[in-house]
A = this chain, B = another copy of it.
Amino acid sequence: MRFLLGKKPANVRARVALRNPPRFASLCALTFSGDRMNGAESLVHTLLKGGVDTCFANPGTSEMHFVAALDRIPGMRCVLGLFEGVVTGAADGYARMAGKPAATLLHCGPGLANGLANLHNARRAQSQIVNIVGDQATYHRPLDAPLTADTEGWARPVSGFVRTATRADRVGADAAAAIQAARTTPGQIATLILPADTAWNEGGVIGTPLPPPPAPRVDQGIVAAVARTLRSPEPAILVLAGAALTAEGLALAHRIRAATGARLIAQMSNARIAHGAGRVPIDRVPYPVDRALAVLDGLKHIVLVGAVKPVAFFAYPGKPGYLFPPDAQLHVLARADQDLQEALARLAEELGAPEVPLPESPPRPAPAQGAPTPEAVAQSLSALLPDQAVVVDESVSFGRTIFSDAAAAAPHDWLQIVGGAIGDGLPLATGAAVGAPGRRVIGLQADGSAMYTVQALWTQARERLDVTTILLSNRKYAILLHELANVGANPGRTALDMLDLSNPDLDWPRIAGGLGVEGARAETMEKFADLFSYSISRPGPFLIELVV
């Protein structure tokens, strides 16, 4: 039996209130205490109270009290992933679409390790995630049982906040601090490590939600200085990222462009771009170094709006690391942790930039016919994309031009892997579908990349998520064959053995079917259009293997 403290009568049973968090939200604002709530239960209550109502999970033994608490306390949607990279990538996709953090649930250091690559991507995407890792009991850790590992050490490089709970009665406060950290602009990963005894011990106290700190305001002197720069005749470009790439942010940037002649570009990889008909079309800093240098050539001023300095993805012998002219001047209008839209609005105001009509969208084409090419895929997407779709782009080498070529499509959001660790596409699509119910998610998915986290398809089937995966099947690590050619080598048997994905061919409809997702193969754009239209006409996931 639990009792409410405070002014409520002592015979109001806490459990009743807690079972109905939305209805009894005001009761939940009270702090519970006593000897009957364990740490895990206080964690679940604190998450729900803090607005975290979705948990992507791959639990293990040390998380069983947390699982039991989730079972007892309603309100949390739990989504199982069969591999931790699915869990963390899905939490990233969810955050990008829902605009709030999901929780993860991972098992000890090695479980966290399996999720690190997509946490790396999420960190670069500035996604908010409450990353919960169960671990050995505090007093069992020194005994170095087999699964014991350096959980904190592995978490730190991807996390803006790392805390290991040490007492059941502090878990609620620890969780509230983690949620606050995750929600701090622009968003970050907050890792909360939960030793098993802090979950099972009694004495849990629900944490009081903590507001994230306000984003530091951009100094007016900086706004004025950037305005002066843009008014000068020297060629300038605004590099946009984060909230500057929403429809509102892009419209503000468009006004600034119209008033000053400055160019606009998005950084190379972006968490989410508002795109398609009725939005301001924007190009991205290209991935190939020579293309990027050409695009940014001649500029005298680079104005960063939440963006990173344009940098080459990798170093190449004899090529520069930064992609802008060495004599260009860098300006930071706003850092990623500031309010980018507010900064753009003040810049537009400082410039006296009038409202201008949005550029007219190109006409929507007919679906493409014939052989699958990047241009054909972009054309068919422009023709067939449903309204308010979410495109998750891990198309790697094949798909680099599809984004720009799909500007005529119905309005949609375009999501990329931001950290460059391939194996994020299928999980991102999975989480985006959970975070944006009612919107069709379209995955543009390279085959080699898909294999890293192929288990995500099973979660899509289990949760009946509206995801159409366009599996771009070229049966090789095409980007690497290209890079190998750059090195000046003609690939021999040994190199092909490491870069070629045929022998055996991956049979994608069969793999998808084995994981519960219906799929089919298309070798022409006509067949592709048929399958695509079929997939979006019905709920649930579908996979199209497009042989390219």
Interface residues of A (CB under 8 A from B): 57, 59-62, 64-65, 67-68, 70-72, 76, 78-80, 82-83, 85, 105, 108-111, 113-114, 116-117, 120-121, 124, 136-137, 139-140, 143-147, 149-150, 153-154, 156-158, 196-197, 200, 268-269, 308-309, 311-315, 317, 321-322, 418-421, 423, 448, 451-452, 454-455, 458, 461-462, 479-480, 483-484, 486-489, 491-495, 497-499, 501, 503-516
The residue in A70, A321, A494, A499 that gathers the most chain B C-beta atoms within 10 A of its C-beta is: A494
Closest Cβ–Cβ distance, residue A67 to chain B (whole Å): 5
Q: Check A57–B498 contact: CB distance below 8 A.
A: yes
Closest Cβ–Cβ distance, residue A159 to chain B (whole Å): 11
How far is it, in angstroms, between the C-alpha of A512 and the C-alpha of B153 when the chains are bound? 36
Q: Check A120–B109 contact: CB distance below 8 A.
A: yes
Q: Check A487–B65 contact: CB distance below 8 A.
A: yes
Closest Cβ–Cβ distance, residue A253 to chain B (whole Å): 22
How far is it, in angstroms, between the C-alpha of A70 and the C-alpha of B491 when the chains are bound? 10
CB neighbours of A114 from chain B (8 A): 85, 114, 116-117, 423, 452
This chain: copies in complex: 2
Q: Check B64–A480 contact: CB distance below 8 A.
A: yes
CB neighbours of A65 from chain B (8 A): 487
How far is it, in angstroms, between the C-alpha of A471 and the C-alpha of B183 when the chains are bound? 43
Closest Cβ–Cβ distance, residue A163 to chain B (whole Å): 18
Q: Check A147–B511 contact: CB distance below 8 A.
A: no
CB neighbours of A494 from chain B (8 A): 67, 70-71, 76, 78
Q: Check B497–A504 contact: CB distance below 8 A.
A: no
The residue in A59, A110, A149, A312 that gathers the most chain B C-beta atoms within 10 A of its C-beta is: A110
Closest Cβ–Cβ distance, residue A285 to chain B (whole Å): 11
Q: Check A418–B312 contact: CB distance below 8 A.
A: no
Q: Check A315–B196 contact: CB distance below 8 A.
A: yes
How far is it, in angstroms, between the C-alpha of A197 and the C-alpha of B321 when the chains are bound? 13
Of B117, B145, B149, B501, which contacts A82 at CB under 8 A?
A: B501
